[in-house]
Amino acid sequence: MAEALLEVRNISKAYIGVQALDDFSITICEGEVHCLVGENGSGKSTLIKSISGAVQPDAGEIVIDGTSYGTSITAIDAIRQGIEVIYQDLSLFPNLTVAENISLTGFIEEGKRLTNWKRVREIAVQTLSQLEEEIDVELPLDRLSMAQRQIVAISRALTKGARLIIMDEPTTAITAEDVARLFNVVRRLNARGVSMLFVSHKLDEVFQIADTVTVVRDGKKVGDYDAKSLDETELTYLMTGEMLEYKPFEFDPEGEGARSLLEARGLSRENQYEGIDLAIHAGEVVGLTGLVGSGRTELALSLFGMTLPDSGEILFEGTPVKMRGPEDAKRLGISYLPEDRHGQGLFEDQTIADNIVITVVDRMKRFFGIIDNNKRVDTWRSWIEKLKIKTPSALHAVSTLSGGNQQRVVLAKWLAPEPKVFLIDGPTIGVDVLSKARIHDVIQDLARAGMGVLLISDEVSEIMQVCSRALIMRRGRLVAEFRNLRSIDEAEIQAVVAEPDTSEEAS
């Protein structure tokens, strides 16, 4: 049996009014991939910060290589013992080269006043070769893909003597192909005895990479499990305490009220998408999937009026329309939830209430532009209740919410105008499994009430769980359509998504 590299013994940590960790223990062995799973707010981030010395637990002890640091391990202690954390933002410098990002931190920590640039490049090349990765070390970081940047971050950790690398949601913004590439790097590190603590909401990926899975719920450890002994249903139950049931959405195109709401005919935009024909009907959830760069988001932006197509036409309720901007789309009854909730969806320093009502504030104005505060309060209260947004007060900044609750605020913001068509891009990125299920329920309820929904996702499993039919986009073209998702195997759709040949016509 492998030796224990890190032991966290019975640690507890409380913040004001919140018990983040409660008598929590975990052991990570040399060369192991140990996955940590739990809902948002379950204590995962506090555990990472405790291990890395960013916060000090209230009780318990942290033991590395048999040496106890009690509760007072510092960030310097952790780094010296080979513990490195790679957060979602990677903490890299986009204006520096690959070589500089990998090597310079070590030079700075050694206190060297002069930089040997030849040695900087050599270290970077040697480290990447250990991972069997070929990246031009002279390239500026901002020219690399997200997956390549992650490999740079791992390489930087290795130059600092990393023996345990903690990766927090590393696959959120990369393609399935890049996930496979990242996992190959992880396995090479394991073969060299480097351990990984891998934090992810994507349970299918947990099963691909994990040796051991530790489940945390409400700050307490549920248990440690051999990854091979679990399936997704059981793991979901351990995380949430609930049995979640997923059903593709039932839609009858011949049913009452199933009329076409939003339609694209021959829609094209140079270098983004070409010859797009699609229709979204009242009361259905249409899924749109494809690899990153397939043109799916660019298409949604045009359907919402944010970018103009070069040719083709858009029809709304059977009438051709020309949208010169999002305001035209909103007037028609179209809403769009963007993929980047932080950059495009939320005003993070503003209150939850203000974020919800921002899209309908003009409707609340009375004489002389004065806002009717009763309408404002009724609106945000209504949506907080409908979407079950968990917050002690709507007057708190939206940044204080968990990822799942932030996403519900974005949903509320774009549902407040009561649209007829809702374009939703990546609604569950970075949220936990229970929040994801709740958001899926909301989407299906909207369709049952007569709304037409276009759900864009890079997770084929999500499309199959939520939608009535699936459209596959590749290199700017719609190449296939799948109906009756109950009778289709996920692998069949996945194969079409990944197929390199672009000559296939829509089925």
251 has pLDDT over 90: no
pLDDT of residue 172: 76
Let me know whether 321 and 352 are in one domain.
no
The per-residue pLDDT for range 91-111, each reduced to its tens digit, is 899 999 999 999 877 665 665
Residue 269 lies in a domain: yes
Q: Is 210 helix (H, G, I), strand (E, B) or coil?
A: coil
* Cα–Cα distance, 189 to 212 (Å, whole number): 16
Residue 168 pairs in a beta bridge with: 199
Let me know whether 275 and 381 are in one domain.
no
Sheet of 273-281, strand order: 273-281, 260-269, 311-316, 319-321
Specify whether the CB–CB gap between 469 and 481 falls below 8 A.
yes
The per-residue pLDDT for range 216-249, each reduced to its tens digit, is 999 999 999 999 999 988 999 999 888 887 777 8
Let me know whether 320 and 394 are in one domain.
no
Q: Is 417 helix (H, G, I), strand (E, B) or coil?
A: coil
pLDDT of residue 109: 60
Number of structural domains the chain divides into? 3
Let me know whether 82 and 173 are in one domain.
yes
pLDDT of residue 503: 42
149 has pLDDT over 60: yes
Phi, psi of 2 (to 5 degrees): -65, 150
Residue 45 lies in a domain: yes
259 has pLDDT over 50: yes
* Cα–Cα distance, 139 to 136 (Å, whole number): 6
* Cα–Cα distance, 330 to 325 (Å, whole number): 9
pLDDT of residue 49: 94
CATH of the domain at 121: 3.40.50.300
Residue 338 lies in a domain: no
Type and span of the H or E element at 234: helix 232-240
CA neighbours closer than 13 Å in the CB half-sphere of residue 61 = 7
Structure tokens at 361: 């504030």
pLDDT of residue 342: 63
* Cα–Cα distance, 299 to 256 (Å, whole number): 29
Let me know whether 74 and 167 are in one domain.
yes
64 has pLDDT over 80: yes
Let me know whether 204 and 231 are in one domain.
yes
pLDDT of residue 486: 81
Using 50, 70 and 90 to split pLDDT, how confident is the model at 504? very low
Residue 32 lies in a domain: yes
Residue 339 lies in a domain: no
165 has pLDDT over 90: yes
Let me know whether 154 and 70 are in one domain.
yes
**Of 312, 273, 247, nearest to 474 (Cα)?**
273
State how far Cα 132 lies from the chain centre: 27
Domain stop point among 209, 240, 271: 240
The share of the chain scoring above pLDDT 70, in percent, equals: 94
Of 119-128, 241-250, 373-382, minimum mean pLDDT range: 241-250
The share of the chain scoring above pLDDT 90, in percent, equals: 57
3-state secondary structure 343-381: HHHCCCCCEHHHHHHHHHHHHHECHHHCECHHHHHHHHH
Sheet of 33-37, strand order: 83-86, 164-168, 195-199, 33-37, 212-217, 220-226
Residue 106 lies in a domain: yes
Let me know whether 225 and 286 are in one domain.
no
Type and span of the H or E element at 67: strand 67-68
pLDDT of residue 507: 38
The per-residue pLDDT for range 448-459, each reduced to its tens digit, is 999 999 999 988
**Of 364, 399, 359, nearest to 378 (Cα)?**
364
Domain stop point among 200, 217, 240: 240
58 CB-near residues (< 8 Å, 6+ apart): 12, 13, 14, 71
Let me know whether 263 and 273 are in one domain.
yes
pLDDT of residue 114: 67
Structure tokens at 268: 């094209």
Q: Which position has the higher pLDDT, 175 or 128? A: 128
6 has pLDDT over 60: yes
- Residue range 409-433: average pLDDT? 88
pLDDT of residue 505: 38
Residue 342 lies in a domain: no
Let me know whether 325 and 362 are in one domain.
no
The per-residue pLDDT for range 333-365, each reduced to its tens digit, is 999 988 766 666 788 888 999 999 988 888 877
**Of 262, 201, 226, 261, nearest to 38 (Cα)?**
201
pLDDT of residue 506: 38
Using 50, 70 and 90 to split pLDDT, how confident is the model at 410? confident
Q: Which position has the higher pLDDT, 173 or 160? A: 160
Q: Is 382 helix (H, G, I), strand (E, B) or coil?
A: helix
Q: What is the extent of the structural domain holding 390? A: 347-418
Domain stop point among 183, 217, 240: 240
* Mean confidence (pLDDT) of the chain: 88
17 has pLDDT over 80: no
Residue 468 lies in a domain: yes
* Cα–Cα distance, 21 to 434 (Å, whole number): 20
Let me know whether 125 and 25 are in one domain.
yes
Counts of helices then strands in the chain (DSSP H, E): 16, 20
Which residue pairs from 158-162 have beta carbons closer than 8 angstroms and sit at least 24 positions apart in sequence? Answer: 158/127, 158/130, 158/131, 158/189, 158/194, 159/102, 159/103, 159/105, 159/106, 159/123, 159/127, 160/79, 160/82, 160/84, 160/105, 160/106, 160/109, 161/82, 162/82, 162/83, 162/84, 162/194
270 CB-near residues (< 8 Å, 6+ apart): 310
Let me know whether 480 and 414 are in one domain.
no
pLDDT of residue 108: 59
